[in-house]
Amino acid sequence: MRQLILASSSPYRRALLQKLGLPFQTASPHINEEAAPNESATVLATRLAREKAQALRHEFPDALIIGSDQVAECDGQRLGKPGTPDKAAQQLQLCSGKTVIFHTGLCLFDSRSGAHSTLCEQYAVQFRALNSREIERYIELDSPLDCAGSFKAEGLGIALFEKMEGNDPNTLIGLPLIRLMELLRQYEVDPLA
């Protein structure tokens, strides 16, 4: 089997990829993650996923490299990683009673041939109306400061939602595994084979 590389330092993406039971390594790509002027969330997530995968081509010249990036939006406003409890509270207040769309870009890059496949999966989260005490308590308990949108769906963040809609719940956490498996099977990489 070809060497499989996850172009990410995210512990969340690493944990997701481990679910497949395939041997892989992780490496941190170093790219500029700023959005271009007027770049849509879908285009940005897809471009960054591709650039992350391609950034490691020289370090791993005969590998299948997985790049992924996620952009969250609420009312047309991008939600990054809050970094502080105050910013997390502001984001959650903005999301209260609204739908947040997560655009997760995915790229599988073959560093041997230079071929790549890219796509973007969407996942929608409908927040219930939240009061300031719930928001404060949630941040205190789950500490979602390194998560776009200021919540961890795999943790207590589930208590913030009315519903979630999408094809693959892993997309919300940052790596659409169903679509990734489709791409990997093209290279005869399959944990069930």
- Catalytic residue status for 69: yes
Residue 68: exposure state from Cβ atoms within 10 A (0-12, 13-18, ≥19):
buried
CA dihedral 143→20→163→131, nearest 10 degrees, is 0
| Active-site choice (62, 69, 146, 190) | 69
Find residue 125's DSSP bridge partners. Answer: 100, 164
Question: Mutual orientation of helices 132-142 and 85-95 as an angle, nearest 10°?
Answer: 130
For residues 1 and 179, give the distance between their C-alpha atoms in angstroms, rounded to a whole number. 19
For residues 118 and 106, give the distance between their C-alpha atoms in angstroms, rounded to a whole number. 6
| Pair 49, 55: CB distance under 8 Å | no
Residues marked as catalytic = 69
